[in-house]
Amino acid sequence: MFIILVAIVLIASGGGAQMSEDSCDANELRLCVELTPKTPVGLPRTRKELDAHCAAYHTGMACMDAWIKRCLPTDGQKLVQQQIGGARALMRFLCTNDSSLRRDFLKEPTCWSMVSPDWSRCVDELQLAVRDISERAQLINYFNKSYELCCARDAFVSCVSHAGRSCSAAAGNLLRRMAWVLAQDVAACSQQPRAHCDAVTLINTPLLTFLSGILLYPPNL
């Protein structure tokens, strides 16, 4: 959930979207993060923990949605919604009673206990890679930016898939589904293989290691 909040802050602060009111300040979004209820670090393992994450998600997003509607023009709102669409979808499925994804998720507490640190690390690396690419956006052309974002998305899905190998086949498949939904809006990527992704990853690794610190589940601030 936290990656949604961080993404909105990054987009509003450095994404080039102009504010629709002079009184608007992107730093107000950080207050939304601060007001979001704190939950235990890692993937939720029980219905109670999942419900706590969902409550925190709804609180944080209600605050941010109000700011987005008030402070961003229509095109800026569309940009934000496009960038966080996958993460919103994942949380909607997990937080809707009797959804198939939620039911399947609650069947695998043992797997989530084992892979929780790896999941957080994979999400952390994705978020940091996207931040790095966004900060360099003016220095790289559109093609290379999209290419690097696609490589970051592929690396995230691969990272999560590798972590899921320690679980049952059903849990591993569910973990990959969650990763795919979460990252689907990082970039519009073709199905063509990207042979140079490893080189891009090697360039970014020292920076990712240096900046590492923000986790998806939850905002443990």
Q: Which of 3-17, 100-114, 141-155, 174-188 has the highest mean pLDDT?
A: 100-114
In a domain, 161, yes or no: yes
Residue 212 lies in a domain: no
Q: Could you report the per-residue pLDDT of 33-56, keeping only the tens digit for each? A: 788 888 877 789 999 999 998 998
In a domain, 60, yes or no: yes
pLDDT band per the 50, 70, 90 thresholds, residue 167:
very high
Length of the chain: 221
Dist CA 29 CA 61 (whole Å): 10
The average confidence (pLDDT) of the chain is: 75
Provide the residue range defining the domain that includes 98. 35-189
Total number of domains in the chain:
1
- What does the pLDDT look like over 60-97, one tens digit per residue? 889 888 988 888 888 878 877 777 788 888 888 999 98
Angle at 86 between CA 81 and CA 89, to 5 degrees: 95
Task: Please state the separation of Cα 161 from the chain's center in Å.
Answer: 16
DSSP 86: H
pTM: 0.72
Q: Is residue 166 assigned to a domain?
A: yes
Query: Which ranges of the chain would DSSP assign to H, the alpha helix?
Result: 2-14, 28-35, 47-71, 74-83, 85-95, 100-105, 109-135, 142-163, 169-183, 197-211
Q: How far apart are CA 139 and CA 136, in angstroms?
A: 5
- Assess whether the previous peptide bond of 37 is cis (omega < 30° from 0): no
- Predicted local distance difference test score (pLDDT) of residue 164: 92
